[in-house]
Structure formats: C-alpha cells, structure tokens
Amino acid sequence: MDFRESLKMAVKTLMASKLRSSLTMLGIIIGNASVIAMVGLGEGGQRYINQQLQSLGPNILFIVPGNRETRRLGGLEISRNLVLADAEAIAQQVPSVIDVAAENTTPGLLSFLNRNANASVIGTNPAFITVRNFTIEQGRFISDLDLQRTSAVAVLGNSLAERLFEDQVALGQSLRINNIAFEVVGVLERQGSNLGVNYDDAVIIPITTQASRIVGRTSPYGLEVSFISATARNADSMQTAEFQITNLLRLRHGITRAEEDDFFIQNQDTLLSIADTITGALTLMLAAIASISLLVGGIGIMNIMLVSVRERTQEIGLRKAIGASRNDILTQFLIEAIILSAAGGIIGTMVGVGGIGLLSLLTPFESSASVSVIIVAVGVSGSIGLFFGVIPARQAAKLDPIVALRSI
C-alpha cells in the first residue's frame, strides 16, 4: 500500500464513525482554542499595560517615598517624608529635568445640588499637566497664583464632570468637596487610569489648598506628597537626572549611605521591563495551564485508538492474510491518529481566534492571534496525535494474523 491509499482508508474509517471521531477531537479542539486564546489574552494585556505606562509621559521619573527593600518585602509602615519643598528643590537645582510635579491623593466626597460622588482628590502643582502629558478640554489648569493663594479651584476629570453636572456646563459652577466650596475652572480630556488612579473620575486641586482645607494638617517638614514625578530633558539624560535627584534628596534628608535611603526612583524603562516580565510570566503560565487540555486530548485519542484496534482485530487479520505488512498497518493507524489531532487543532485554532476577537470586544485589551502561536499550536496538536497514536498503531501492527482470524 502506498501513502495515498493508506490516507484514503484512514479518512473512510474515521468518516464511518463521525460522532466518535468528533468527540475524540473535542479535547484537542478545546486545548488548541484555550492555548491560542490565553496567549492572545496575555499578549493583549501586555500591550495594554505598556500603553498605560507610556501614556504617563515621555522620559518620566517617579520619586517614591520609602525604602525600595521595605516596599519589596511588603512593609506596612511606608514613610511619608517626601514634601512639596523636595519637588521645588528638584525643579530649581537639577539641570537635567525640565518639569517637576508633586502629587498627593486623598479620598473625598463631592456634591453638586442633589448629586453626590466619591472621588480621588488630587493635590498637585501646575507642572502636573505637562509632566503627565494631560490635556485640558475646557477652561484652564491650576496656576502658581492658585498655589500661593491656596485658592479653592478645581479641575474635574471628564467622567466626574458628566456625572455631577450631566448636561450643564461645568465651568464656573460651584461644587463642594468634603463640604467645602470650590469653583470649577477646568475639565480634563479623557485620560483613563494610571498608577492605580482613574483620572477621569478624579478632581485636581492646588496641593496647598488640599493641605490646608481638605487634609487639615502638614508634616513638620512641609506639605507631604504621595510621590514626585519629573520629566528629563531627553531619553539620554534619564540616568543623569536620576543620579542628580538621588544626590540632592540624600543631601536634603541628611542621608550618608545608600542603605539609609528613605525614597527610591523608578524610571519608565524600569516599569516597562517589570511589566513585561510579569505579563510574560502570566502569559506562559496561562498557556501551560491551557496545554493540559492538549495532553488530555492526546490521551483521549490514544484511548479511542486502542478501542479501535480491538474492534478491528478481524479487519487487521484479513489485511495481513492478504499481504499487508506491519508497516502498512502501523502507517494507517498513525495516519488516523494524526488526522484526528490535526483536524482538531485546525478547528480549535478557528475557535481560539474567534475567542480572541470576542475578548477584544469585551475587554480593553487589544488581543490578537500571532501567526507563530497558531503554527506552533497546530504543529503541537499534530505531534500529539503522532505521539499518542504510536502505542495503538504498534499494538495493531503486532497482531498475529492467525490469532486475529480466529476471532472471526
């Protein structure tokens, strides 16, 4: 028998039991679809996180209070020793940065007429809008004069403005934050969520006003901030800026050794690298979990093929009696197993690609199925058919024709 004849017989045999063949392929279909969908979801999540980090602003550095090692180990007590004066010193004394923004976030209750909303109240300075690369849709942002006068002015996130004012114009309106009246002077364009804060659902006020009217306290060293963000002049000056900021803050905080640092600096490249490592590991884990379905599908193919060998003992005996060799029997059963797994792989690929399209519609992730993943998934499913089909095929090929014919 040549290969084409074996292929025809294998297809004819499988088509004779369509329901059993379909159920046998089901494990491979589910496995392939799961692998492709999970890898696509992981890659989509990775792209989404990268976009979020890149939207923070170009060449940005984040100065965060607390020792890096303490934060890594999950220390409960994080020092709040960064103050507005530190941000002002960085802006004035570090030549490799062009803009510096201090930011402090507290919860607040906003009210307008009979409408209330819980939102993040962000105290900051005028450089925030340029450092974070945000855009004003209506009105203006807070100014240096607002900081000096501790003015009760507010800039609203887009979604928050719609919730509170609905069809009314927000500019010039008076709203209450924790029962204190503020004038709305601006509305941001839609920004989304960054660093755990949804800026579309937040209100931004001068940090001096936040300290004196909302928080109602200051530290002995000045106005506390959650973190400081700074924009380096260009990508080449990022390391220089980090070095200069570190030296300046150590001098201001009286730190003599690196181990005593009460702050640490994260740059955008480091955050991207960390995000890529985490999402890559998660994608690999998801693919590994989904691959278990492929293993189960392969075992299912082997099980059905073993049953098929037992059911077709007479057929095998007759074929051997009229001259079929061991290789002919072995080839036919291997072809049947490979057809089952490869067909299941192709159908599973189509289901997986469709699942990725559905995930893209239901989630913010721009998921897509890469050609390499599809090729690998189909190749693996075909290999599984070959691997798990060997044992039944060898068992069929080893049958003694005389013993097989006796069962007729």
- Does the pLDDT of residue 76 top 50, yes or no? no
Please give the residue that has the higher pLDDT: either 316 or 207.
207
Rg (CA), the chain: 33
Question: Per residue in 233-270, pLDDT tens?
Answer: 887 888 899 899 999 999 988 888 877 788 888 877 77
Q: What is the mean pLDDT of the chain?
A: 81
> To 10 degrees, the CA torsion angle through 33, 34, 39, 43?
90
- Strand locations in 66-158, DSSP E? 97-112, 115-124, 136-139, 153-156
Determine the pLDDT at residue 46: 76
CA torsion sign for 227, 231, 235, 241 is: negative
The one-letter amino acid code at 166 reads E
Highest mean pLDDT among 64-68, 142-146, 369-373: 142-146
Confidence of residue 145 (pLDDT cuts 50, 70, 90): very high
- Does the pLDDT of residue 105 top 70, yes or no? yes
Distances (CA, A) of 317 to 2, 47, 115, 257: 19, 58, 84, 84
Question: Please, are residues 199 and 63 in contact by the beta-carbon 8 Å criterion?
Answer: no
Question: Per residue in 177-235, pLDDT tens?
Answer: 999 999 999 999 987 766 667 889 999 999 999 988 888 766 666 788 989 999 988 87
Average pLDDT for residues 142-151, to the nearest whole number? 94
Confidence of residue 126 (pLDDT cuts 50, 70, 90): very high
Average pLDDT for residues 151-169, to the nearest whole number? 91
- Beta bridge partners, 175, equal 182
- Does the pLDDT of residue 71 top 60, yes or no? no
Please give the residue that has the higher pLDDT: either 331 or 220.
331
Determine the pLDDT at residue 2: 67
H helices, E strands: number in the chain: 14, 12
Please give the residue that has the higher pLDDT: either 393 or 166.
166
Determine the pLDDT at residue 407: 54
Determine the pLDDT at residue 342: 82
Q: How many alpha carbons fall within 13 Å on the CB side of residue 158?
A: 12
Q: What percent of the chain has pLDDT over 90?
A: 26
Lowest mean pLDDT among 126-140, 289-303, 307-321, 343-357: 307-321
Average pLDDT for residues 80-106, to the nearest whole number? 90
Q: How many alpha carbons fall within 13 Å on the CB side of residue 389?
A: 21
Determine the pLDDT at residue 54: 65
Nearest of 390, 241, 391, 401 to residue 325 by alpha carbon? 401
Nearest of 113, 119, 108 to residue 178 by alpha carbon? 108
Lowest mean pLDDT among 137-141, 283-287, 365-369: 365-369
**Number of other CB atoms surrounding residue 144 within 10 Å:** 11
- Does the pLDDT of residue 121 top 50, yes or no? yes
Q: What percent of the chain has pLDDT over 70?
A: 84
